[in-house]
Chain A
Amino acid sequence: MAVLDIDTEVKSFLKITGATYDTLITQLILNVTNQIENYCQQPIIARTVQVTDMQVDLINNKLILLPYSNPVSIVSLQYKSYELGETLETIDSDYYEIVIRGNVYFLILELADNSTWAPENYIYNVYVEVGWALASVPEEVNQVAVEMVVSLFQQSTYGENRFEKSTINENLGGAALNTVYSSSLNRWKDILDKYRRMTL
């Protein structure tokens, strides 16, 4: 899933009309999305993932820490118990809720009245949807993605031809294009650091 809309966010920025460069730009957007998500180690565009490194047993298995800092919603929650053997039991959404502290998401099991959570039960499968819908991705993440795509496009043969500056090494603000990309990397990382997954 791409983090940017090709027409409204990239082509308008590059002042490109027509479909000549669409394939390349689409590829670059996917590439940039992957780069951003790999750096952040969590989805930016909402998708369902299985939580593998949650911190459980904070209070008798009833408070679970999710390692994501982007918006999280529970898709399904299953537990296993010795009584039920290998059978996985799904917990109804009435019995849990997500509580946010800062940008940390905690999952709390709230069992029905008079019921107790047996210590031998343990949470087995947690599937969550992490990230934003395309339209509501934070502005600063969007801006980083646009800058990355534009910078990569300018470096391509198409970009150089389009600006008719293929023979000139310094063709963007007096600096070589690859220098522009590498010098912006730290700034992009500083912005994206806020959206990185926690290492538990």
Chain B
Amino acid sequence: MTIEQYAQQVAQFVNHIRIYYKSEIIEPMGDLLNAEVENNMRTGGKYLAQTSPGSYFQTRKMPFGKIGDRSGKLSRSLIPGQKGNIFKQTITDKKISVNYGTKLKYAYYNEFGANIPANEGSKKFFWFAYFKTGIEYYKNLALAMIGGTTLRIKPRPFFEPGINEFYNKDLMILLDSFIKLVKRKLF
């Protein structure tokens, strides 16, 4: 075998690796990330209670219903290719990075919670609205008020736990199937 032939074979090998990498890892990765995050949204997020500043524990029960079940916009924005979704791979010689997420701003409030300034009038309005309409949404808002000055949205992390589950469970399966395919096809 000449050097040229050898170099050609190496180039073909690298090319095959790239193709398999795309089909076996990158393409399923978006769907798996979406599945793990969506799974957490269905259970209402991994609700955390703060025991002391900086210290959290997971409570036994989710306080509210599902995340993103009103318009479905947040759920859709987590599907790769859909509007509002971020799914971008950058491959360099030494590093492969994948950006996955949503552009919707209120995803942040679900994930990390928020304290929104409000006044006593808002609380009364929420109770009155609940009295008039009977819609549970207003009751939850009224009960989320702290001392009539702050509307507290409790953190319901759904994204980060989903990503962690992907890292701990799905990524190894993907890599495993990739390695098996490479071994089967190229060696």
Contact = CB atoms under 8 A, between A and B. Distances in A.
Given A101-B130, A101-B131, A106-B131, A57 B124 contact: yes
Interface string A142-164: 00000000000000000000000
Interface string B123-134: 110011011001
Given A101-B134, A190-B61, A193-B61, A63 B128 contact: yes
Interface in B138-174: 139, 143
B136 interface: yes
B119 to A, nearest CB: 14
A108 to B, nearest CB: 9
Contacts of A58: 124, 127-128, 131
Interface in A40-59: 55, 57-59
B20 to A, nearest CB: 47
By secondary structure, the B interface counts as helix
B124 A102 contact: no
B131 A99 contact: yes
Interface in B100-131: 123-124, 127-128, 130-131
B185 interface: no
B183 interface: no
B60 A63 contact: no
Nearest to B120: A57
Interface in A101-159: 101-102, 104, 106
A74 interface: no
Nearest to B60: A186
Interface residues of B, number: 12
A63 B131 CA distance: 9
Interface in B46-64: 60-61
A59 B128 contact: yes
A45 B61 CA distance: 26
Interface in A50-102: 55, 57-59, 63, 65, 99, 101-102
A31 B134 CA distance: 37
Contacts of B128: 58-59, 63
A55 B60 contact: no
A199 interface: yes
A189 B60 CA distance: 10
B131 A198 contact: no
Interface string A165-191: 000000000000000000000100110
B12 to A, nearest CB: 59
Interface of A: 55, 57-59, 63, 65, 99, 101-102, 104, 106, 186, 189-190, 193, 198-199
Given A55-B123, A55-B124, 14 more contacts: A55-B127, A57-B124, A58-B127, A58-B131, A59-B128, A99-B131, A101-B131, A102-B139, A104-B139, A106-B131, A186-B60, A190-B61, A193-B61, A199-B143
28 contacts: A55-B123, A55-B124, A57-B124, A58-B124, A58-B127, A58-B128, A58-B131, A59-B128, A63-B128, A63-B131, A65-B127, A99-B131, A101-B130, A101-B131, A101-B134, A101-B139, A102-B134, A102-B136, A102-B139, A104-B130, A104-B139, A186-B60, A189-B60, A190-B60, A190-B61, A193-B61, A198-B143, A199-B143
